[in-house]
Each structure stands twice: as C-alpha cells, then as structure tokens.
Amino acid sequence: MTRKAIYAGSFDPVTYGHLDVISRALRFFDELTVAVAASQDKNPLFSLPERVDMLSRVTGGMEGVCVEGFEGLLTGFAAKREVKLIIRGLRALTDFEYEFQMALTNRKLDDSVETVFMMPSEAFSYVSSSMIKEIVKLGGSVRAFVPLEIEEELKRKLRK
C-alpha cells in the first residue's frame, strides 16, 4: 500500500523551513502532495501559479513530491486524491492555536482525515514568509532563508 500525505500551505514564498518539512516528511511517506492554497484572503505576493511553479522548481529533485494548487476546502482536496493524512508545519507556539483550530475543524468536516504537525529544524523555526518579504523590501539578503532562485523572484516583485 502506498503511504500518501498532503503538506498544505500558502508558501508565499517557499522557505528552507518548508523544504525541511517536505524532506523529513518523505522519510515516512511514498507520495507527498504539496498543496498550495489559493489563500486570497491572505493577499499573497505571488499568484497561485507562481507559487506552484516556484515550489515545483525547488522540489524537482525530490522523488515522491507532487506540487498542486487548490482552491476551496483542504478536506475536499484530500478526498479527491484519496489522502487521509494532512501535514501542517508548526514554527512556534504562536502557530499552535490557529493550527489546532484548523485541525479540529477539518476533523469535523471529514473525520476520515487526520492532521499531523511537524516542526521544521530549529535553524528554521523562527522564519516566516512575512519576515522574509520585509527583509527583501528593505534591501536585505534572505539567502539564509530561501533558495537563490526564490530570493531572485522576491527581489523582482518587491524592488520594482
């Protein structure tokens, strides 16, 4: 039986913390769908197709990873792909309350789907996408937090 999971997020932009969770999740699953949420309510910097493209590029060498964008409920996306496990990343205690509410809501929507929380390595636990965008806006380098090609995309968007 193939072990499948979904790692969901907005990935605006993808960070080394996200990539760390992806690579560690692959130790437990044969197939990992990285589900990029449209997240229009978050007013993302990058469009959904741009985020899917960036993630596809930086995970291209990872066997078993598939990147897909989606709109609507995550539980609906999981059901269509016959996946019963959702992975969510937790960086710090401040993420926990929101993620806990989301996991319980998803369970209420579809009790056949479970949520597992994974923390990135300590080196990435304090990094957020919004912090990275702010650093780039102010002219700083984010090479310690994102792959070079992602930093270039951020510069292109934010330093016009």
CATH of the domain at 43: 3.40.50.620
Number of structural domains the chain divides into:
1
- What pLDDT does residue 35 have? 97
pLDDT tens digits for range 62-75? 999 999 999 999 99
pLDDT bin (cut points 50, 70, 90) of residue 128 is confident
3-state secondary structure of 51: helix
User: What is the pTM assigned to this prediction?
Assistant: 0.92
Alpha helices in 4-64 (DSSP H): 16-25, 48-58
Q: Which of 4, 51, 88, 129 is catalytic?
A: 129
Angle 56-127-90 from CA coordinates, rounded to 5°: 80
Burial degree of 43 (CB within 10 A; 0-12, 13-18, 19+): exposed
Q: Which of 4, 10, 18, 88 is catalytic?
A: 18
Task: Identify whether the C-beta of residue 121 lies closer than 8 Å to the C-beta of residue 23.
Answer: no
Question: What range does the domain containing 95 cover?
Answer: 4-123
Q: Which of 4, 51, 88, 91 is catalytic?
A: 91
Residue 70 belongs to some domain of the structure: yes
pLDDT tens digits for range 45-100? 999 999 999 999 999 999 999 999 999 999 999 999 999 999 998 877 677 888 88
Residue 95 belongs to some domain of the structure: yes
- Residue 80 catalytic? no
